[in-house]
Each structure stands twice: as structure tokens, then as C-alpha cells.
Amino acid sequence: MALVFLPLSGAELRDWATGGSLAGQRRGYAVTPAMAEAFGVDDPEDAEYAALCIASIAGLLAHGERIVAVAEAAFTATPDDFGEVSVSTPAWAAVDSLFGEDTDAAPARATGAAMAGLPLARAWDEPQVQALLADTDLLWYGPAEWALLAP
């Protein structure tokens, strides 16, 4: 078991928090050997921050919003440079923390609209995505605060 960063829509977060689990295979991101090498991170905290950033952009591309759940879970890794992993039916009880947009979601929405349809590997290198990551922080929430991200 290791930390997995799961990008979610607000509706998925609400369903997970109220239902107890997310059914089926879920795509997440984790600190894998391939990711650590590709991003040149040795420090565990830096590697986890990179995985959080990756998951946030994957969520933005998939859902138009940056909501990331961090959970302890077993996963199947891929050789993907972004640390993509597959998690089967994660339990809400395994969630350690949540991350979501600060009070001004406009920059993220604009970036998501501009990057719509691009795969993660292509969008990641775009200046607008890198500026979003550099200029806007995600806020930390405890699992019990999920409704603040998915009212």
C-alpha cells in the first residue's frame, strides 16, 4: 500500500464520500520508479508533491476542475512517466486528505478550457499549465471537509 493521488469531479467526490467506495478501476497517480526518474525527484515529499500536481492537471483535463483525493491503496503501476496507476474500488476510509482549488477557480477553469482534449503528456508542457501550477496552490482539506469541494 502506498499513497495514490486520485483526480475526481465534484460529483465523484460526493458519491464516494456518501457511498463509501468508488466502484471499479480508477486511474490515479503515485510515486513510481518511472515517475521519480522522469521528474528527477529523490526526496519523498518532492515526489509526492509532483504526483499531486500531476493528478490535479489530469483532473482538470478530465473534469474541468482540480480535486484530488489522497488515499492509501494498493495499485497496479504502469511504466508511464507520470506515475499513472490503477486502483480497484478504493474505500473512502482510506482517504488521508483532499486538495481543491483556492477561492478563485477562474485561472484553473481558463486553463482547463484552453487544454480541453489534450492528453496529459501534451498539456503538461504547455506554458499555461506550468503557469497555473506555479501561480495557484491547491488547498488542503481533511476527508470530513469533502462537502466544501463538492457541495
SS (H, E, C) 66-133: CEEEEEEECCEECCCCCCEEEEECCEHHHEEEEEEECCCCHHHHHHHHHHCCCCHHHHHCCHHHHHHH
Per-residue model confidence (pLDDT) at position 58: 97
Per-residue model confidence (pLDDT) at position 102: 80
Q: Does the domain formed by 2-145 have CATH 3.30.420?
A: no
Digits of tens for pLDDT over the chain (151 positions)? 899 999 999 999 999 999 988 888 999 999 999 999 999 999 999 999 999 999 999 999 999 999 999 999 999 888 899 999 999 999 999 999 999 998 788 999 999 999 999 999 999 999 999 999 999 999 999 999 999 999 7
Q: Cell 457541495 maps to which residue?
A: 151
Per-residue model confidence (pLDDT) at position 142: 97
Q: What is the pTM of this model?
A: 0.95
Per-domain residue ranges of the chain: 2-145
Per-residue model confidence (pLDDT) at position 103: 76
